[in-house]
Structure 1
Amino acid sequence: MTTPLNSGQELSDKIHVTVNTQYMADHPASEADKFAFAYEINIANHSAESVQLINRWWLIIDGNGKQTEVEGAGVVGEQPHIASGNHFQYTSGAVLDTPVGSMQGYYEMQDKDGAMFRVPIDIFSLAVPHLIN
């Protein structure tokens, strides 16, 4: 028998976020002294209950230390429900003024009872390949 999760922290620990990034050399922004990156996010629900992604918050920092906050409802126009044992994957992007930078943030999720909790997204790099040895 599975014990139900009774706190946001316990549930948050069961939602795993992985990120893959790619420099988009052919993107129009990358030809205008900007650097375009795509990031693919996979959100896996290893808990015993369904959750819904309600909001997102990102902190994007370029190589000059310029910080940009991005927040809003859902991701890529969706507020997906992620059933127990399932995952949700999407791709989005960021444009930086420098060839290196980083992103980090969190998702605000809701459990089946309507309680909100945060799932942190660890810092990850955005970097033009072969720029740093």
Structure 2
Amino acid sequence: MVKLITKGISVSVETKYQPEYSSPVQFHYVFTYKVTIENKSEHTVQLLRRQWYIHDAGTTKKEVEGEGVVGQQPILEPGDVHSYVSGCNLKSAYGKMLGHFAMERLVDGKQIEVTIPEFVMVAPFRLN
């Protein structure tokens, strides 16, 4: 697990290889990742957008951005925690992701950028 705190917002990420959905002979590797966001600040915030940079070691680099996370734009009061699970398909057994969330402090409308720490996705057989 990786974890980073930006402006009082903690973001941690855990990854898991999904062998039952992967097919190495077809260069198809599926990973899931669980993101946990904890508001350690003294302000209520809302997650508005996310931007991801996906690096597939075997082939490409992609940028993905859009509103919210998994169809939600959660509001986090001080002390609140929001978790969600999503996934990523790669063409190689190794990759990494990083990015940021665009959030808004509800008290004054100030926009803040919260860093999503870089994390790796590695098929376990690549670790030997």
TM-score with structure 2 length normalisation?
Answer: 0.90
Counterpart contact for 1:50–1:84, Cα < 8 Å: yes
- SS of the aligned residue for 1:26 comes to helix
Paired letter, 2:20: D
Does residue 127 of structure 1 match 2:122? yes
Task: Give the whole-Å Cα distance in 2 for the aligned partners of 1:121 and 1:128.
Answer: 21
* Corresponding residue to 2:18 among 24, 30, 39: 24
Deviation at 1:65, TM superposition (A): 5.2
The residue that corresponds to 1:37 in the other structure is: 31
* Corresponding residue to 1:97 among 84, 87, 91: 91
The residue that corresponds to 1:118 in the other structure is: 113
Counterpart contact for 2:11–2:37, Cα < 8 Å: yes
Deviation at 1:122, TM superposition (A): 1.4
Q: Residues 77-114 of structure 1, C-alpha deviation per residue, up to 9 Å, x if partnerless?
A: 00000110111000000000100000000000000121
Task: Give the whole-Å Cα distance in 2 for the aligned partners of 1:104 and 1:50.
Answer: 24
- SS of the aligned residue for 1:79 comes to coil
The residue that corresponds to 2:80 in the other structure is: 86
- SS of the aligned residue for 2:125 comes to coil
TM-score with structure 1 length normalisation?
Answer: 0.86
Q: Looking at CA atoms only, which structure, 1 or 2, has the larger radius of gyration?
A: 1
Paired letter, 1:89: S
Deviation at 1:19, TM superposition (A): 0.3
The residue that corresponds to 1:46 in the other structure is: 40
Unpaired runs of 5+ residues, structure 2, are none
* Corresponding residue to 1:58 among 52, 56, 70: 52
Task: Give the whole-Å Cα distance in 2 for the aligned partners of 1:35 and 1:44.
Answer: 29
Counterpart contact for 2:59–2:91, Cα < 8 Å: no
Pairwise CA RMSD of aligned residues?
Answer: 1.4
Aligned length: 121
Paired letter, 2:56: D
